[in-house]
Amino acid sequence: MVRAAQATAAEQSVIALYDRFVLNTYRRSRVFVRGKGAEVWDINGKRYLDFGGGIAVNALGHAHPAIREAMLAQLDQLVHTSNLYYTLPQALLAEKIVAHTGAPGRVFFCNSGAEANELLFKFARRHGHGAGRFGLVTMLHSFHGRTLAGIHATGQEKVRERFGPPLPGFVHAPFNDLAAVEAAITPETAAVLTEGIQGESGIVPARADFLLGLRDLCDRRGLLLLIDAVQCGMFRTGRFQSWQRILEDAGGGGAFAPDGIAMAKSLGGGVPIGAVWIAEKHAGLFQPGSHGTTFGGTPLACAAALAVFDTVEREGLMQNARRQGEHLMSRLAVLAARRPDVVRDVRGLGCMAAIEITRDALETNGQLAEAGLLLIPSGTRALRFLPPLNITDAETAEACDIVARVLQGSG
């Protein structure tokens, strides 16, 4: 981590402004000025391999020409109209999302993951309204965003610290434990919400039998099954949605579909956009006036997201995400086998992986960055790999070489 004392004059010129004018809600380091693909350069001219991807956002890496061209063309046409009018980019993007989800549904556009989850919470309340049901069962160690409801949905105490009192209706159950989820359901429960792969808590995939069991449980109890796909969706696992990949690997799940899905992060390839897919049979719960946002689905952001979909399809990035994920996992597994004293676990699917280490994750993350590799810490013991979906064999190999070198050094 760059501390003020070690910062160069160039860095200090930026950091000093943050120290005076930006609210201190992040532990930050390094000043970045430019990126290309999976590479990024700081203000001192130092190059890094970016395997954090802006926290699973930069699906095509930095400065991708397809996003640039789509946005430049849209900038010359129409940037924003509000949702009082129809625009073609929003219509085409909704069609894409429904097609890739593989079940009939409708899309609402917003600007972030937390906002997408807010609509899921309101969806649950609408669904349960007549029956006096308004609560959600969510999973321990989950993450659902930083809005007031999002922090109460999140299964981690630390995000709620001194933001009480709690919002009514949110209860938490252990992830991948169907019996515990069933036991947590109360007469107030309207929905169950889970990530397909828990991201912030260190890349923990849902088991196929858990997902199928939740679907059955929700059907039996009249509850909505909601998926937070903000981090694990958008082709990161080699399929559009992580559950499609998880169920495919388990040899089934063709007919599985949740009732609602929250998306954001990689959706716009770096441009802020979120979306919620709602199963067609529930679409009637919403009418004009029941939900809204000024910016959501603005043509500029939709043009960027359409460019991401087109590029993923055209360049076979679903296959690449799988291939690079296997390459990464096999290299990390070799390291774990050689140094079980340092690497305790390796987990992941596609371009979404983590190592659990016996050292402090924040400090190790700083050492990796010093060595030229950006990862994302999860808690105190895990480091996440969330690279662009178009990384190359050489970049994956370089990242693994740096990890092996740093983790086998003293520490």
Residue nearest to ligand PLP (CB): 113
- Dist CA 149 CA 226 (whole Å): 15
**Residue 370's closest CA among 11, 14, 42?**
42
Peptide bond into 165 cis (omega under 30): yes
Query: Closer to ligand PLP at the Cβ: 153 or 343?
Result: 153
Q: Is 143 a catalytic residue?
A: yes
Catalytic residue among 50, 96, 123, 228: 228
Q: Considering only the C-alpha atoms of the chain, give the largest distance between any 2 of them, rounded to a whole number of Å.
A: 63
- Dist CA 383 CA 361 (whole Å): 6
Which amino acid makes up residue 356?
A: E
Q: Which residues bind ligand PLP (CB under 6 A)?
A: 112-114, 117, 143-145, 195, 199-200, 228, 230-231, 264-265
Query: Closer to ligand PLP at the Cβ: 262 or 346?
Result: 262
CB of 53 to ligand PLP, least distance (A): 12
Query: Closer to ligand PLP at the Cβ: 122 or 327?
Result: 122
CB of 45 to ligand PLP, least distance (A): 30
Q: What are phi and psi of 101, to 5 degrees?
A: -70, -30
Q: Is 401 a catalytic residue?
A: no
Query: Closer to ligand PLP at the Cβ: 2 or 114?
Result: 114
CB of 117 to ligand PLP, least distance (A): 6
Query: Closer to ligand PLP at the Cβ: 195 or 395?
Result: 195
Q: Is 210 a catalytic residue?
A: no
- Dist CA 260 CA 256 (whole Å): 12
Which amino acid makes up residue 234?
A: M
Strand partners, 303: none
CB of 156 to ligand PLP, least distance (A): 12
CB distance 40 to 67 below 8 Å: no
Catalytic residue among 51, 259, 265, 309: 265
| Sole residue written with tokens 């099954």 | 225
Q: What are phi and psi of 410, to 5 degrees?
A: -70, 150
CB of 131 to ligand PLP, least distance (A): 27
Q: What is the gyration radius of the CA atoms in the chain, in angstroms? A: 21
The strand pair at 170-173 and 197-198 is best described as unpaired
Catalytic residue set: 143, 228, 265
